[in-house]
Amino acid sequence: MTTNVMQSEQRESGRIGFLTNQLSQGIRSCELALSSASVRAWEDRIRNAQKAHYRAIRFVHRFNISEHEAHRINQRITHLKTLLDELK
């Protein structure tokens, strides 16, 4: 029983890590687009950031996470959305 609980917690931790990584990549893509003069670079980076935002919104509600972790992830989602809006 304890092993199952530990495995479940490890899976959730891995999923949260994946989600956090996706958000970080999306934020970085926006920052690079904002600093780039290339239209093609903008399009590719914006597309990547939009995918990261979509994944975060879609999956964050499926995870069993602490209030602190949820707040941290929601801040990143909001930051990414702000950057995406700035790029429009």
29-75 pLDDT, tens per residue? 999 888 887 777 788 889 989 999 998 888 887 777 788 888 899 99
18 versus 63: the higher-pLDDT residue is 18
Domain count, the chain: 1
**Angle made by CA atoms 25, 60, 42, in degrees to the nearest 5:** 30
Domain that holds residue 62: 2-87
